[in-house]
Amino acid sequence: MRTLGLLGGMAWPSTLAAYRTINQGIAARLGGAPSARLVLWSVDFAEVEAHQRAGAWEAAGALLADASRRLEGAGAEGLLLCTNTMHRVADAIEAATDIPLLHIADATAAAVTSAGVQRVGLLGTRFTMEQGFYRDRVAAHGIEVVVPPAPQRDAVHRIIYDELIQGRTTAASRTAYLEVIEDLAAQGCQGVIAGCTEIELLLGPEDIDLAWFPTTRLHAEHAVTWMLAPGLPR
């Protein structure tokens, strides 16, 4: 089994979900009582969020690059960034180490393609929905990516930062998200990417009629496959 380094804390509930899902996946694949070989570095999300708000992506990238080097030094053979938004600085992380970064957009796009979905809605932070680092990477797999209009993007973003990253969910926010998804369906979307790991705290596949792509689970399942298949290309 390969040792995987987790870049976490952005925010901690999504890191917890990734840690749990990876360990469950390892146990399911191997049987018995195994657990995953993981090294975790959890950053202070307040510092990361401040960089996000200031648009200081270079500083955010330096922060995560430093954490990545520490994980490599601790024995990690690959990296999993436990967040969608901070893949905005994936290039800085990859440049800082000699080990692979398992990109969340690639794992998600593979699942969308496998489901036969060609047009998909994307929900996430404002950065993930509006900037090209995520949308373009998914689209490169031949998938059409649709984001909500600006007022809905603002609402989706606000709920993530004001509620979900703190582990809080409300009926009003759930209703707001479902209305956004209904509008995406009306635009011909066949599925929805939960492009912020905390969204999975609010909604699940049972809540919508479209195909549901929970990025935390998909990313973690991809990681399990990578950890247990040392002969696969890195």
User: From CA 153, how far away is CA 190, in angstroms rounded?
Assistant: 19
Question: CA quadruple 34, 32, 28, 216: dihedral positive or negative?
Answer: negative
Both tokens assigned to 52: 């996000």
Residue type, 203: L
Cβ-based neighbours of 133, under 8 Å, separated by 6 or more: 87, 88, 90
Residues serving a catalytic function are 83, 196
Q: What is the dihedral of CA 184, 186, 188, 192, to 10 degrees?
A: 30
If we measure between CA atoms, which residue out of 84, 95, 99 comes closest to residue 61? 95
